[in-house]
A and B are shown apart, each in its own frame.
Chain A
Amino acid sequence: MRYSYFPGCTLYTKAKKLDDAGRECSLKLGFELDELPDWTCCGATFPLVNDQHMLMSGPTRILADTKDRGDDKLVALCSVCYNVLKRTNHVMLNDEERRAKITDFIERDYHGEVEVLHYLQVLRDEIGFDALKEKVVKPLEGLKVACYYGCLLLRPVKEIGLDRMENPTIFEDFIRALGAEPVDFPFKIECCGAFQTVNSMATATRCSREILSNAVQNGADLVITTCPLCQFNLDDRQPEILKEDPAFTTIPVFYFTQLLAVALGLDSGNLGFERNFINPLELLQEKGLV
């Protein structure tokens, strides 16, 4: 199986580990992520007002490039890119007026033909979690995982449609396939503060603290995420949270593809855990997984 792949800016730099592990695992699992040539930034925000068409020209071009390459599916790994591409495609499919404005402006012929998939969706719907389980060489036994979805992977449900909004299970099903145990984690769909990290950092700190505390209270050893912005807030805010509350229990936060790589027996040395504030290596070593 081969899919067009859109890594996005952050996966080329700050979230390289998300990308590296994702690609490495895909090969092991028998699908190819064929990177879109000459891609541009998705814009990192989907415009929430209906007169900002310019912000949709970038993602529309990405979608049109996929179509022109002869592909009808485009895979993203980053929740932000996934959300922006998926919501843009929703407009392309359902809003004739806005579609005409945008496609006329970028001089492309595009009507929403491409299906935007998240990597997790490929694992669930195309590979299958049962088949994934078969490929696991190092079951993550004894590892208690808080599966953090955040906002952009799920909402708005009518446009994204990956899973239910309130109690999604795709992430937990994935984790079970790897042999780990997902913990009951009520804050799994709460917001980490997102881009407020550059404006109202207190929001990001407080939100992260609530999410992480909830994960710890429910017995998690670690938190996994699909989103570089979530990973950043949840990991990077921890020193600040510790300052506010010395009793706070720190917890490693890393990408789901990193954990997937561990379970598939891939070289964890390449996974770049050292970039994390809370380095998960110790935990994984303790559990005998690396």
Chain B
Amino acid sequence: MAEIAELKSVNEQGEVVTCACAMGDLSDFESVPVDRRVLVIGGGITGITAAIDLGNAGYKVVMVERLPSVGGRMLQLSETFPTLDCAQCTLTPRTVESGQHPNVTLKTSCEVEGLEGEPGNFKFLIRQKPTYVDWNKCTGCGTCVEKCPSKGFALFERDAGRMPAIYTLSPQAVPNKPQIDPDRCRFLTRGKCGVCSKVCPVGAIDYEQQESFFTIEAGAVIVATGFDIYDWKKLMPEYGGGRIPDVIDGLTMERYLSASGPTAGKMVRPSDGKTPKEVVFIQCVASRNPEFHKSYCSRLCCMYTAKHARLYKHKVHDGQAYIFYIDIRSTGKGYEQFIQQSVSEEGIVYIRGRAAKLYQKDDKVMVQGADTLTGKKIEIAADLVVLAAAIVPNEGSEKLARILGIECNKDGFFVEENYKFAPVMSGRQGVYLAGCCQGAKDIADSAAQGSAAASRVQVFLSSYRNRMNREAV
């Protein structure tokens, strides 16, 4: 009982120093014993869920995130199935809560580089990448972002639009401070420009910033490093290998459909900015393909493809959407109804078969497909093709596995101790897995695993404390 009361008081104190927490000051985190501290790697919806749960339970959490703000893949999404809620609207309260939570400290633009110690008493080496912006000075006014003359390709916007070299990932980014992309910044690459530095009212731009290292001591760690999209541009020449501009992937489609995306939610196609009237969606791209790509089902694609086609139809009423599918896997609550509605009420034509090849013909993308139900080879002259490419672990998962002493399978997903009964346990005590880094899953399942991992951490740390206490006696 005494412990809980003590934590509560810390809690209240924490609220006073919220800003310091958000800026990444570790003094509050370090104010409790190491067996009450947890590191969460990855600031997506999974990591956020775990961090908030642990924070609410009275643990001190540091959440490290590779990108400049938390939110993860959900930040890129438009609306989410099966309810078609706005992703930003459901995500933002959670990112804000993680940023303001008295027990949660965000360390963005950071990556885990090393691990020492043992379960219950880990010591992590963290690399802080330069943001080239002094966040203690920056007020987040956004003038630099507005004035930056160097707009270019950015992974976050995928093929849907360009981004300034100094940027935040969203208007409601947490933390809402910009960072400079050193590969695209004219000053950092060519020594010329300096516009952001000139317009910053508080002198926060710091081109000299260097990477730095620090350590975090924590009793346990949750790995929630998320997913990426299979590199179909490099590995699937049959779909144009990235050379056909109007062939995009599902994540790019999200950016087009997103109200906060580069087109403000206007549905256009990359090549000429025209509204696509014939849109072909292809499921199982690189998934379920043990011979050449990935053997597993990526689990999300059936649902998000139906969602894409619906959102497209909501924006382009006279447009025609086609979906090449092999099987429909809609096993979540309300998912099958969502699919049924897409088929019967939204005028989307489902074609049972795969598309073998895409090629450019004049301003169309020709789709060579088959409909196995009628036994016909199908050709569609599409304005836009959207590929539901396989879900793969984020880059660097193998390296992180080595650092943490856990296992990856051949596809790079972290291996759980027992898929049925211990899906969030890594096989190494004190190290827990959650979300897509363990295998493809949707938001609902990812958040559930975030909570499950948070619960497992508490079980572990309290039994660890009890053991230590007994040994001390």
**Is A–B contact present in the complex under a CB 8 A cutoff?**
yes
Interface residues in chain A, defined as those with a beta carbon under 8 Å from any beta carbon in chain B: 164, 166-167, 184, 186-187, 214, 217
Chain A residues closer than 8 Å to B241, beta-carbon distance: 166-167
Asked if B140 is at the interface of the complex by the 8 Å CB criterion, the answer is: no
Residues in B whose Cβ lies below 8 Å from that of A164: 237
Residues of chain B within 8 A of A167, CB atoms compared: 237, 241
Q: Does the CB pair B361–A166 fall under 8 Å?
A: no
15 A-B residue pairings within 8 Å (CB atoms):
A164-B237, A166-B236, A166-B237, A166-B238, A166-B241, A167-B237, A167-B241, A184-B243, A186-B357, A186-B359, A186-B360, A187-B359, A214-B359, A217-B361, A217-B362
Binding site of B, secondary structure by majority: helix, strand, loop or mixed? mixed
| A186 nearest in chain B by CB position | B359
Residues of A within 8 A of B361 (CB): 217
Give the residues from 355 to 377 in chain B that come closer than 8 angstroms, CB to CB, to chain A: 357, 359-362
Q: How far is the CA of A167 from the CA of B360 in the complex (A)?
A: 14
Provide the bound-state CA to CA distance between A184 and B357, in Å. Answer: 15
For the complex with contacts A166-B236, A166-B238, A167-B241, 8 further pairs of A-B residues with Cβ separation under 8 Å are: A166-B237, A166-B241, A184-B243, A186-B357, A186-B359, A187-B359, A217-B361, A217-B362
Distance in angstroms between the alpha carbons of A167 and B243 in the assembled complex: 11
A214: B residues at CB distance < 8 A: 359
CA A245 to CA B359, docked complex, whole Å: 23
User: Separation in Å of the A11 CB from the closest CB of chain B?
Assistant: 31
Chain A residue nearest to B244 (CB atoms) is A186
- Residues of A near B243 (CB, < 8 A) are 184
Chain A residues with CB under 8 A of B237: 164, 166-167
Most chain B Cβ neighbours within 10 Å, of A164, A167, A187, A217: A167
Instruction: Note all chain B residues with C-beta closer than 8 A to A166.
Output: 236-238, 241
Contacts of A217 in B (CB 8 A): 361-362
A167 and B361 CA atoms in complex are apart in Å by 17
With both beta carbons as reference points, the residue of chain B lying nearest to A167 in the complex is identified as B237
- B residues neighboring A (CB under 8 Å): 236-238, 241, 243, 357, 359-362
Q: Cβ of A186: which chain B residues have Cβ within 8 Å of it? A: 357, 359-360
A217 CA / B362 CA spacing, docked (Å): 8
Give complex CA distance A214, B238 in Å. Answer: 16
Of all A-B residue pairs in the complex, the 9 with the closest CB atoms, nearest first, are: A186-B359, A166-B237, A167-B237, A166-B238, A167-B241, A217-B361, A164-B237, A186-B360, A186-B357
CB distance from B22 to the nearest CB of A (A): 48
Pick from A164, A186, A187, A217 the residue with the most CB of B within 10 Å: A186
Q: Considering the chains assembled together, what is the distance between the CA atoms of A184 and B237 in angstroms?
A: 13
CA–CA, A217 and B359, complex, Å: 12
Measured between C-beta atoms, what is the minimum distance from B246 to chain A in Å? 14
In the bound complex, residues from chain A placing their C-beta under 8 Å from that of B362 are: 217
Which residue of B has the minimal Cβ distance to A164? B237
Who on chain A is nearest to B239 by CB?
A166
How far apart are the CA atoms of A274 and B265 in the complex, in Å?
Answer: 60
Q: Smallest distance from the beta carbon of B242 to chain A beta carbons, Å?
A: 11
- How far is the CB of A215 from the nearest CB of chain B, in Å? 12
* Chain B proximity of A39: nearest CB distance (Å): 36
For residue A246, give the distance in angstroms from its CB to the closest CB of chain B. Answer: 21
Which chain A residue has the least Cβ–Cβ distance from B360?
A186
What residue of chain A has the Cβ atom nearest to residue B240's Cβ? A186
A27 to chain B, nearest CB (A): 36
Cα distance A166–B360 in the bound complex, in angstroms: 15
| Chain A residues in 8 Å Cβ range of B359 | 186-187, 214
B360 — which chain A residues lie within 8 A by C-beta? Answer: 186
B238 to chain A: which residues have CB within 8 Å? 166
Q: How far is the CA of A279 from the CA of B236 in the complex (A)?
A: 37
The distance from the CB of A185 to the nearest CB of chain B, in whole angstroms, is 10
How far does the Cβ of B5 sit from chain A's closest Cβ, in whole Å? 66
C-alpha spacing A186/B359, complex, angstroms? 6
**B231 to A: closest C-beta gap in Å:** 15
CB distance from B124 to the nearest CB of A (A): 42
Shortest beta-carbon distance from A199 to chain B in Å:
20
B365 CB to nearest A CB, Å: 11
A187 to B357, CA, bound (A): 10
Please report the C-alpha to C-alpha distance between residue A96 and residue B313 in the assembled complex, in whole angstroms.
Answer: 59
CA distance A164 to B241 in the complex (A): 13
Chain A's closest residue to B366 (CB) is A186
Q: Which residue of A lies closest to B359 (CB)?
A: A186
Give the complex CA separation of A61 and B128 in angstroms: 66
Nearest-Cβ distance from residue A59 to partner chain B, whole angstroms? 27
Q: How far is the CB of B52 from chain A (nearest CB, A)?
A: 46
Closest chain A CB from B380 CB (angstroms): 15
What's the minimum C-beta distance from A221 to chain B, rounded to whole angstroms? 19
Complexed CA–CA distance, A214 and B243 (Å)? 17
A167 to B237, CA, bound (A): 6
**Smallest Cβ distance from A87 to chain B, in angstroms?**
19
Closest Cβ neighbor of A187 among chain B residues: B359
Give CA–CA (A164, B292) in the complex, Å: 12
A240–B360 Cα gap in the complex (Å)? 26
User: Closest residue to B238 on the A side, CB-wise?
Assistant: A166
The distance in angstroms between the C-alpha atoms of A229 and B116, with both chains bound, is: 66
Q: Inside 8 A of A187's CB, which chain B residues have their CB?
A: 359
Minimum CB distance partner of B362 in chain A: A217
Chain B residues near A184: list those with CB within 8 A. Answer: 243
Report A216 CB to chain B, min CB distance, Å. Answer: 12
Interface centre among A164, A166, A184, A214, by most chain B C-beta atoms within 10 angstroms, is A166
- Cα distance A186–B360 when bound, in Å? 8
CA distance A187 to B362 in the complex (A): 15
- How distant is A244 from chain B, measured CB to nearest CB, in Å? 18
Cα–Cα, bound, A214→B357 (Å): 14
Measured in the bound complex, the distance between the Cα atoms of B360 and A217 in whole Å is 10
Residue of B nearest to A217 (CB): B361
Min Cβ gap B201→A in Å is: 50
Bound Cα distance A110, B359 (Å) = 44
Closest to B361 in A: A217
Minimum C-beta distance from A148 to chain B (A)? 15
Q: How far is the CB of B8 from chain A (nearest CB, A)?
A: 62
- Roughly how many angstroms separate A186 CA and B357 CA in the complex, as a whole number? 9
**Once bound together, how far apart are the Cα atoms of A167 and B233, in whole Å?**
12
What CA separation (Å) do A187 and B356 show in the bound complex? 13
Min CB–CB distance A131 → chain B (angstroms): 28
